[in-house]
Amino acid sequence: MVAQELLNADSSVTYDAIVIGAGVIGPCVAAGLARKGKKVLIVERDWDMPDRIVGELMQPGGLRALRSLGMIQSINNIDAFPVTGYTVFYNGEKVDIPYPYKADLAPVEKLEGLVKDGNDKVLEDSTIHIRDYEEDERERGAAFVHGKFLNNLRNIVAGEKNVTRLQGNCVEVLKAKNNEVVGAKVNVEGRGKVDFKAHLTFVCDGIFSRFRRELHPEHIPSVDSSFIGMSLWNAKNPVPMHGHVILGTNHLPILVYQISPEETRMLCAYNSAKLPGDIKGWLSKEVQPHVPKSLRPSFDAALAEGKYRSMPNSYLPARQNDVTGLCVIGDALNMRHPLTGGGMTVGLNDVVLLIKKIGDLDFSDRETVLDELLDYHYERKNYDSVINVLSIALFALFAADNKNLKSLQKGCFRYFQKGGDCVKVPVKFLSGVNPQPLMLARVFFAVALYAVYLNIEERGFLGLPMALLEGIMILITATKVFAPFLYRELCS
């Protein structure tokens, strides 16, 4: 039974903003605008808690964005599990990569009108401790059950006096004769299809967005690989409070991270959008032999239970929000490979920038808002391109399917093993706190050159001519997996 308050939205008024979708990004947009004094209608097909395996690990950059929005307490009281860094395994060896020191980063920006009454600080609960998140010298991330986190965000937006919630299926983005967007048509239980008007309509309907093509008919994601997800119960993780990336010369990457005191998520990469016909057989043959020893009991139990879920790995470069009255944001606008767990971090930082750009404008002045949205598109590039390109490039290396990529994979791991700046700088990109795409390019090609050096060293003096030829091919391969994506991100 749907609560009546979710069906009563007034269609006779013109809202400042309509937000389509109450995933991670929609509630943050709605709450941020409401705190800026905007009258907001947020539409969601189903306000009940969802059950998904996406959006379960948030990097420090995402938590910093939640602080800026005054919504960091959304990670409280959901058994969220702290994340302090990563451990990378490669053919049985391992290297630890802790998150950056807070002293090495700029202070978190507090958005005026959004941050108040301590809502930029975590609360104390059974798993999230104030001393760890507020007083520790290093940044932290958090992992959680996605639906519980989403419920917290939705509860926050429900408490905003300027927000009206509506349950219904948005079936159309409404346009005037000049093609400007003027609102949304929503199919509401007991009311039928109702037109709601707004000065600005936000499309936040996520991975499988129905309305992203309102920007352009060709704004469609590509899907080239998948993750097969499993729940491991009461697993003994190799390094507590770390995400684990398990690599090897003869298998695709495996990700492991704890999302509650009892549950650990395992994601197994599959290099095709079409899943294997026999998933259990594939897991037994291609994954089980490479699972760390401490995880084997919980993995074997999950394998025997036979419960698996999959998710497509999509890539979608952003387009300009150049349609008057429309703003597409979050995964509806821009997607990257989920290997690095950067999706929510990108989306939340986009919300922070968006509120800064347009939060204090009069939305009825649609041309001024459109001008600011065009500026927003270019200002978001430095931050978002780092996370997006890193995700694509690392998956190419970690899922290496040819000799040159395998050399780069080995070079990447050996580079991390050097420690010092060879860990400190890359982890800033991974954790979403270093928005410098050209520095990312410098580090990526430093890894590539190190892979060339290792290959020369392995070949020895007599093999130098061959090593030099192979080195050229390694550098060409590195350029192919990095440069085109950086170009698309910065020049789209």
Give per-10-residue mean pLDDT for the chain (492 aa): 90 98 98 98 96 93 98 98 98 97 97 97 98 98 98 98 98 95 97 98 97 96 95 97 97 97 97 92 96 97 94 94 97 96 97 98 97 96 96 95 96 97 97 96 97 93 89 97 95 82
Q: Are residues 269 and 345 in the same domain?
A: no
Residue 492: per-residue pLDDT: 76
Q: Report the pLDDT value the prediction gives residue 462, as an integer from 0 to 100.
A: 83
**The domain boundary residue, chosen from 261, 281, 314:** 314
The domain that holds 294 is classified in CATH as: 3.30.70
| Same domain, residue pair 153 and 295 | no
**Residue 125 sits in the same domain as residue 229:** no
Residue 359: alpha-carbon gap to chain centroid = 23
Question: 403 and 367 share a domain?
Answer: no
Quote the CA–CA distance of 38 and 34 in Å, as a whole number: 5
The reply to whether 227 falls in a domain is: yes
- Give the number of domains in the chain: 3
Q: Which among 36, 38, 345 has a CA at the least distance from the CA of 201?
A: 38
Quick check: helix, strand or coil at residue 67?
Answer: helix
Neighbours of 422 (CB within 10 A): 17
Verdict on whether the full-model pTM lies above 0.85: yes
Helix H or strand E encompassing 216: none
CA distance 436 to 440: 6
| 93 occurs within a structural domain | no
Domain ranges, residue 440: 384-491
CATH number of domain containing 35: 3.50.50.60
Looking at residue 2, its pLDDT comes to 82
Query: Residue 88 falls within a domain, yes or no?
Result: no
Q: Domain for residue 214, yes or no?
A: yes
Residue that is last in its domain, among 326, 354, 381: 381
Task: Say whether both 263 and 344 belong to one domain.
Answer: no
Same domain, 138 and 258: no
- Per-residue pLDDT at 300: 97
State the Cα torsion 465-470-472-476 to the nearest 10°: 170
Asked whether residue 92 is domain-assigned, the answer is no
**Residue 361 placed within a domain:** yes
Strands 326-328 and 192-203: parallel
Question: Are the beta carbons of 172 and 185 closer than 8 angstroms?
Answer: yes
Whether 244 contacts 95, CB under 8 Å: no
Of 151, 150, 189, 155, the residue nearest 169 (C-alpha): 189
Instruction: Give yes or no for a contact between 120 and 68, defined as CB atoms under 8 angstroms apart.
Output: yes
Q: Cα angle at 191 between 18 and 195, to 5 degrees? A: 35
Distance of alpha carbon 256 from alpha carbon 75, whole angstroms: 20
Tell whether 104 and 22 lie within a shared domain. yes
CA gap 352, 82 in Å, rounded: 23
Same domain, 479 and 369: no
Judge if 462 and 473 occupy the same domain: yes
72 and 98 in contact (C-beta within 8 Å)? no
Whether 356 and 279 share a structural domain: no
The reply to whether 393 falls in a domain is yes
Q: Does a structural domain hold residue 34?
A: yes
Of the residues 279, 298, 314, the one at which a domain ends: 314
* In a shared domain, residues 353 and 412: no
What confidence score (pLDDT) does residue 63 get? 98
Examine the domain organization and report whether 65 and 179 are in the same domain.
yes
CA distances from 448 to 46, 69, 177, 460 (A): 47, 38, 53, 19
